[in-house]
Amino acid sequence: MEKEPKTILCYGDSNTYGLMPVPGGRYPYRKRWTTLLGNQLGEGYVVVPEGLSGRTTAFDREGAPWKNGLAPLKAIIGSHVPVDIFIVMLGTNDTIPEVGASAEQIADGMEQVLLAAKEAFAELQEEQPQVILAVPAPIGDAYEQSTDTGALDMGAYIKSRQIAGLYEQLAEKHGCTFVNMQEAEVSAIDSEHLTERGHEQVAAKMLQAVLSLEGQAAAASAEKREAEETGGMQYEITDDCIGCGYCLGVCPGICINGNHIPFVIDQEKCQHCGACLDVCQADAVALI
């Protein structure tokens, strides 16, 4: 049966939507970080951008309660299950004066998103996805001259940096992979939105995180397979070994060291075939 591509759901705000600081509108599809990530990962993956301009973690916006990140979360997850990797990058809009949240309240909002997502995934698919929690790019230094008139202040500038440490703690608490986008470049014109280079930087960091998760998953699955095959046990040669060498002749993995008595099995290479145990006349091979 043809292998299905893995689904990566990216839940974010205007920087996941791909809002262009100058002259406004949306970056072309090929320039958004979600597209770049998908291109770099190749055809084994589907990267789904779910970015909404103005979205917060868990706060209503004036006249737009639907920009509260909790509001559509379950429906969005339900539209894309099964999801293998869930990326969440929110918090910038929470820092602005209109929302008025403190850094701690923003982290609390992010925790609500993580918990709501976990609950939705538990109901809508068999296994929890891997979660990447990204702290967004911070508000730029020229926030006072931002073209987003009156939207930013020094509080937003400071909080957009303070949340980095709080998100890192959250990631640890909830077993997420933490990614820090605080070095990603934002426009000097509006101090909020990623430049083209910023999109490339975000894509590169996300790629690193996804590949690291995939490496961990592969190792965990190999370990699980081995544990299933052996019942968590391994073959070992005991002091009863007389050095006859019969086991060397039958081992398919060339994983027995016969330089010393007792012989020693290299557990990294052992294929758990049991041939050494069967052939040993001295009962020197044990499954432990």
* Span near ligand SF4 by CB under 6 A; candidates 7-15, 164-172, 186-194, 233-241: 233-241
Residue 282 in the binding site for ligand SF4 (CB under 6 A)? yes
CA gap 71, 76 in Å, rounded: 10
Measured CA distances, 261 to 237, 238, 242, 287 (Å): 9, 9, 7, 18
**Interaction between residue 271 and ligand SF4 (CB under 6 A):** yes
Q: Tell me the number of residues near ligand SF4 by CB under 6 A.
A: 29
Comparison of 48 and 273: residue with beta carbon closer to ligand SF4: 273
C-alpha separations of 66 from 13, 89, 223, 245 in Å: 12, 17, 44, 73
Q: In the 8-state DSSP scheme, what is residue 119?
A: H
- Residue number with CB closer to ligand SF4 (208 or 271): 271
* C-alpha distance from residue 225 to each of 126, 130, 143, 168, 228 (Å): 19, 20, 53, 32, 5
Q: Alpha-carbon torsion 171, 184, 41, 72, what sign?
A: positive
Which CB atom, from 54 or from 253, has the smaller least distance to ligand SF4? Answer: 253
Q: Which residue in 20, 114, 137, 276 binds ligand SF4 (CB under 6 A)?
A: 276
Asked whether position 245 contacts ligand SF4 by CB under 6 A, the answer is: yes
CB of 218 to ligand SF4, least distance (A): 21
CB of 267 to ligand SF4, least distance (A): 9
Q: What is the CA radius of gyration of the chain?
A: 26
**Rounded Cα gap, residues 30 and 56, in angstroms:** 25
Q: Which stretch binds ligand SF4 (CB under 6 A): 28-36, 136-144, 194-202, 242-250?
A: 242-250
Which of 170, 251, 268, 286 contacts ligand SF4 by CB under 6 A?
251
Pairing state between β 6-12 and 85-89: parallel
Residue 249 engages ligand SF4 in binding (rule: CB under 6 A)? no
Please choose, out of 46-54, 98-106, 137-145, 275-283, the segment that lies near ligand SF4 by the rule CB under 6 A.
Answer: 275-283
- Residue 76 CA to residue 188 CA, distance in Å, equals 32
Per-residue tokens: 222: 């190999």
CB of 277 to ligand SF4, least distance (A): 7
Q: Which parts of this chain interact with ligand SF4 (CB under 6 A)?
A: 235, 237, 241-247, 250-253, 255-256, 263, 265, 270-276, 279-280, 282, 284-285
